[in-house]
A and B are shown apart, each in its own frame.
Chain A
Amino acid sequence: MLEFRQVTFQYRHGAPLFLNFNWRVEKGDAWAVLGPSGCGKSTLLALAAGLLFPTQGQVLVEGQPLTRPRPHTGLIIQDYGLLPWATVRENAALGLRVRNLYGADGIHAPKDYVPRTDVTHWLERLGLLEVAGHFPAQISGGQRQRTAIARTLALEPDLLLMDEPFSSLDAPTREGLQSLVMELWADQHLTLVLVTHAIEEAAMVGKRILVLGNPPNTQALVLDNPGAGEAHYRATPEYQAICQFLREALNRT
């Protein structure tokens, strides 16, 4: 589904964040990317989204090198992603309205796209119907993040990229949304990549976990975590063990 092939990346005046970096995401995987701040994990996501391009090497999605953001890839960022002047409903429909503006051109929208603007189904699925007429400043952080999720899912992505989506939320809201994401991952047949700096979040959401260290990242440290996403995983010894392992891995970097 997503492949980093010998990727080297550096910002214009910086040292390389990635050096000949290889990483493969299979269709239907749920990945968490964990690392300290400054390790390049947001850059990794921007590369996967086609918003940044490698200095050397290639990023491929479904075997095709990325040259621009791809219509079937959804990206959700921590905050700031909603238009402050649009209601929850309008924000949720924004991606569709962008597509309607261009039509099914295969670049901004998939070739088989049928124009539509109704997002009621997604507002309902994410519990946002009551606040559909509110503006982002009038709703809670959790509701804002669910609006961002609705907006992205309305575009029916097959690859969902999330950059620290829940880090500004309080613990109960965060845990609720983590479970929701895993539900959606399962019933929408998504491929999921979630970037986080929180060990517990990585262990809860990532069936596979990529640990990044201080740059440059060359070797991918990958951890299997098959129990992730299950209802009571948080209470199991496996979860504790994974968290402990990740903590040590982060301390080494």
Chain B
Amino acid sequence: MKRRDFLLALLALLALWQVLAWLVNQPILPDPWRVFGALIQETLSGDLPIHFLASLWRVVASTLLSILLAAPAGLVLGQSQRLNRLFTPIIYLLYPIPKVVFVPVLLLFFGIGDLSKILVIFLILFFQILVLVRDQAAALRPELILSVRSLGAGRRALFRFVYLPASLPGILTALRQSIGTAVAVLYVAELFATRVGLGYYIYFQGSTLLNYPAMYAGILAMSFLGLGLYFLVDGLERRLCRWQVR
């Protein structure tokens, strides 16, 4: 995608928004300029940054947690047919369950702090990464490992030169595919029992304070959060997985 096309698409969307705002002509849909004004104001003198950082922290923490647990588990399952046979039915059953329905359960078990919110996102990312890394590791041919071993590689070198780079595409693809879902679920999780986070902020501005420009500013902030993370993962994938013909 060219940068110019990207900017043109952005402008088109803004124009569409402006037109809709004119047509609706009600406070529940302010035009982009008022919303950007609110965004700047809420960022500089309001507490939007605190909510943004709270949400960012929850996404980043759960992402790191799921990579740290799912990637090694995926590598082990991908390399051991016996373990994979054992766990495949379990993963098969758990994978399609919409994890967002566990929000109330996790709240009951882990309380109203950050942990329950981090765990919801973790549940989504964990299975995505697990499955993709497992498949990637299973595609590693034994001949490849044998030939790297014949160069003198022991466990440490195999990890560094084979297993780690082999699991990277799986991790990044899983993140790219599920970061949007993760942010969506974060919004839902932040509606419950919390006073920080963009989900809470959007809901509070919209339904309690009836400050619609600020509500839209919160929606924009949440979109930036999702977009930023998506771009980050996409960029990493481009840089680190150049070898994969996409």
* Set of chain A residues within 8 Å of B156, measured between Cβ atoms: 101-102
Q: Name the B residues within 8 Å of A226 (CB-CB).
A: none
Residues B150 and A75 in contact, CB atoms below 8 Å apart: yes
Which stretch (B92-100, B109-117, B158-166) binds chain A? B158-166
> Which residues of B sit under 8 angstroms from A148, Cβ to Cβ?
147
- Interfacial chain A residues near B148, Cβ < 8 Å: 83, 94, 98
A85 & B243 in contact (Cβ 8 Å cutoff):
yes
Check B243 against A137 for contact (C-beta < 8 Å): yes
- Chain B residues 149 to 192 lying within 8 A of chain A, measured CB to CB, are 149-154, 156-157, 160-162, 165-166, 168-169
> Does B141 sit at the interface, judged by CB under 8 A?
yes
Q: Is B165 touching A109 in the complex (CB atoms < 8 A)?
A: no
Beta-carbon contact of B143 and A137 below 8 Å = no
Q: Does A41 contact B (CB under 8 A)?
A: no
Classify the interface of chain B: helix, strand, loop or mixed.
helix
Query: Which of A51, A84, A97, A152 meets B161, CB within 8 Å?
Result: A97
Count of residues in A whose CB is under 8 Å from the partner chain: 35
Q: Are A75 and B243 in contact (CB under 8 A)?
A: no
Minimum CB–CB distance for A145 against chain B, Å: 12
CA distance A130 to B157 in the complex (A): 28
Interface residues in chain B, defined as those with a beta carbon under 8 Å from any beta carbon in chain A: 141, 143-144, 146-154, 156-157, 160-162, 165-166, 168-169, 241-245
Sample of 11 A–B contacts (CB below 8 Å): A49-B150, A51-B146, A51-B150, A76-B147, A81-B147, A83-B165, A85-B243, A94-B161, A95-B151, A107-B154, A137-B243
Which A residues have a C-beta under 8 Å from some C-beta of B?
Answer: 46, 49, 51, 69, 71, 73-86, 94-95, 97-99, 101-102, 107-109, 135, 137, 148, 151-152, 155
